[in-house]
Chains A and B, each alone.
Chain A
Amino acid sequence: EDQVTQSPEALRLQEGESSSLNCSYTVSGLRGLFWYRQDPGKGPEFLFTLYSAGEEKEKERLKATLTKKESFLHITAPKPEDSATYLCAVGQAGTALIFGKGTTLSVSS
């Protein structure tokens, strides 16, 4: 069965303490790996799309990387405003995105 697993479920960091979130997937025919940010009570906000192993994308303090089995979202020197739930999703041909449960990040000052 196709599956997307995110870890850890929750992560608490101090401001400036860098870390990584993991998204592992077992799908056939990957067409894209997507990262979203979701604030409480709001819809997910698109961050990145990765299409092939070895690809990397950056946005401010976030960098997403992709291998054949997993993706990492690296957060460098996080700030309190980076606190949110980060969702990973994979795309396959002919079907809508499959989402993981998310990682809830809390950054304290």
Chain B
Amino acid sequence: RKEVEQDPGPFNVPEGATVAFNCTYSNSASQSFFWYRQDCRKEPKLLMSVYSSGNEDGRFTAQLNRASQYISLLIRDSKLSDSATYLCVVPGNNRKLIWGLGTSLAVNP
């Protein structure tokens, strides 16, 4: 099993839709998780941190399922500007971060 695994997509959704991505991780001892957003040809930017069961910020909700070892990102009322690649990150050993390959989202008018 890969350390961090994401469905690459692409997810194509209409404006206003609700979309959810999952990210599975292999290290059951992991305590914190992150979602980053990366626009085309740009650097990744931190979107949300998840330290306990979940986190909510406006239209974005991140949830953690420790039993099944996955985190999810839910986007409600999708906007065109939400089109990007969403990267899941899990801290590893020695201050390293383990990155998923990302899930591509395209929100269509």
Q: Do A and B bind each other?
A: no
Using CB atoms and an 8 Å cutoff, list the residues of chain A in contact with chain B.
Answer: none
Using CB atoms and an 8 Å cutoff, list the residues of chain B in contact with chain A.
Answer: none
